[in-house]
């Protein structure tokens, strides 16, 4: 599919990946409509600071409302559904919120897209649905394991979307990114947590378990991969992993970031940052061969290059000031 003349909708466009995707697509397509979560401050999240915001049609709302979703999708050709609650620790505290947004919200979006005859619906999943790897690298056939209410809600959201492909022939593709990082990511993620504590002058860094491994993919590579998936024909009903086929432990990641920032630090384990034992995902390593085979995707950023860009962005005072490094962010 050539996206040039398509009208694109991105839900969750006020967030980390969504704002980058909106900027990536707005220079390449006819029109981008961006959903920002409604709030009384009229904040558009990260789109507020985007130099391209005036080129984007920004709408405030909530995918939990089916009537709103119907209006949101009107005259849209392609939907990128990124709107979701994503913080794993908060899903232990407020699991119903994750069901309402991630599952019911996705249901509202696919139903609206079906009724408005959208040409393509791209559902954003997460590597967390795989749980701790039973084998590596993890391909798209790996069993799904709900090890947190968050991952359970994302499994449910993916299956709701795929059911609309099987039941109603809505063109649905599941995009399954592994661990994203880059500018604008919140401190509920590990890389901003490490960098912001160091950048604020801390010598003792508070973290959780250092043993899990993750496959980190830079956000600009992710957005390019998402666009390529949308442009590739024949992916209806398919699940596509987005990752690097590399893994690094959290402990080694901390060491690497400290080296890149030129500091010497100590690590203190913070009990509140530990997941329940059976909920921790101990190993994630992506098999991205399907993505490469189907789309000819070639990542631009290795881990060091992406970390340097992230460190530079987070170290700027105007950005660092947005992070409360003395408070654990669930």
| Model pLDDT, residue 328 | 80
Q: Is the pLDDT of residue 329 over 80?
A: no
Q: Is residue 3 scored above 80 in pLDDT?
A: yes
Q: How far is 64 from 329, CA to CA, in rounded Å?
A: 24
Residue 126: inside a domain, yes or no?
A: yes
pLDDT digits (tens, 9 = 90+) for 215-254: 999 999 999 999 999 999 999 999 999 999 999 999 999 9
Mean pLDDT of 150-176: 98
Closest Cα partner for 120 from 4, 234, 288, 242? 234
Among candidates 224, 9, 223, which has minimal Cα distance to 120? 9
Which 3-state string (H, E, C) describes 189-251?
CHHHHHHHHHHCCCCEEEECCCCCEECEEEHHHHHHHHHHHHHCCCCCCCEEEECCCCCEEHH
How sure is the predictor about 176, in pLDDT bands with cuts at 50, 70 and 90?
Answer: very high
| pLDDT for the residue 18 | 98
Res. 164: pLDDT tops 90: yes
Q: Is pLDDT of 4 > 90?
A: yes
Q: What's the average model confidence in pLDDT over 181-196?
A: 95
- Inside any domain, residue 238: yes
CATH number for the domain harbouring residue 148: 3.40.50.720
In-domain check, residue 33: yes
Q: Report residue 96 as tokens.
A: 């119903």
Residue 190 pLDDT exceeds 80:
yes
Please state, in angstroms and rounded to a whole number, the distance separating the CA atoms of residues 297 and 134: 26
Domain-embedded: residue 227: yes
Distance between CA atoms of residues 190 and 184, nearest Å: 13
The CA distance from 293 to 250, in Å, is 30
Using one digit for the tens of pLDDT, what is the confidence trace for 119-154?
Answer: 999 999 999 999 999 999 999 999 999 999 999 999
pLDDT of the residue at 270? 86
User: How many domains are contained in the chain?
Assistant: 1
pLDDT band at 106 (very low <50, low <70, confident <90, very high): very high
Whether 272 shows a pLDDT value over 90: the answer reads no
Active-site positions read 150
Question: 192, 211, 222, 233: which is closest to 286 by C-alpha?
Answer: 222
**pLDDT of the residue at 156:** 98
Asked whether residue 87 is domain-assigned, the answer is yes
Structure-token pair, residue 253 = 């990641």
Average pLDDT over residues 256-270: 95
Which residue segment(s) compose the domain that 118 sits in? 7-180+218-242
Residue 311 in domain: no
* Residue 124 domain flag: yes
Exposed e or buried b per residue across 297-325, where buried means at least 16 C-beta atoms within 10 angstroms of its C-beta = bebebebeebbebbbebbeeeebeeebeb
Residue 265 has pLDDT above 90, yes or no: yes
* 304 located within any domain: no
Q: What's the pLDDT band for 30 if we cut at 50, 70, 90?
A: confident
């Amino acid at each position: 599919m050539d996206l040039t003349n398509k009208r694109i909708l991105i839900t969750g466009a006020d967030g980390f990946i969504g704002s980058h995707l909106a900027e990536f697509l707005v220079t390449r397509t006819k029109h981008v409509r961006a959903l920002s979560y409604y709030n009384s401050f009229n904040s558009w999240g990260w789109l507020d600071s985007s130099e391209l915001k005036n080129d984007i049609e920004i709408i405030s709302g909530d995918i939990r409302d089916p009537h709103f979703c119907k209006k949101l999708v009107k005259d849209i050709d392609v939907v990128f559904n990124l709107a979701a609650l994503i913080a794993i620790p908060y899903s232990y505290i407020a699991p119903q919120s994750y069901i309402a947004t991630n599952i019911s919200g996705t249901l509202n979006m696919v139903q609206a897209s079906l009724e408005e005859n959208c040409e393509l619906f791209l559902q954003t999943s997460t590597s967390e649905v795989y749980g701790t790897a039973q084998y590596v690298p993890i391909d798209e056939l790996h069993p799904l394991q709900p090890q947190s209410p968050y991952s359970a809600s994302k499994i449910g959201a993916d299956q709701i979307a795929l059911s609309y492909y099987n039941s109603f022939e809505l063109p649905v593709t599941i995009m399954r990114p592994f661990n994203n990082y880059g500018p604008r990511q919140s401190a509920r993620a590990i890389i901003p947590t490490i960098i912001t504590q160091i950048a604020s002058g801390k010598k003792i860094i508070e973290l959780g378990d250092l043993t899990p491994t993750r496959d980190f993919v830079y956000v600009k590579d992710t957005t390019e991969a998402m666009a390529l998936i949308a442009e590739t024909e024949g992916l209806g009903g398919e699940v596509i992993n987005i990752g690097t086929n590399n893994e690094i432990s959290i402990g080694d990641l901390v060491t690497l970031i400290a080296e890149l920032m030129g500091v010497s630090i100590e690590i203190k384990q913070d009990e509140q940052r530990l997941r329940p034992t059976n909920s921790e995902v101990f190993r994630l390593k992506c098999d991205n061969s399907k993505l490469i085979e189907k789309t000819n995707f070639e990542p631009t950023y290795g881990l060091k290059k992406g970390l340097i860009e992230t460190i530079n962005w987070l170290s700027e005072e105007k950005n660092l000031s947005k992070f409360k490094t003395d408070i654990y962010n669930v």
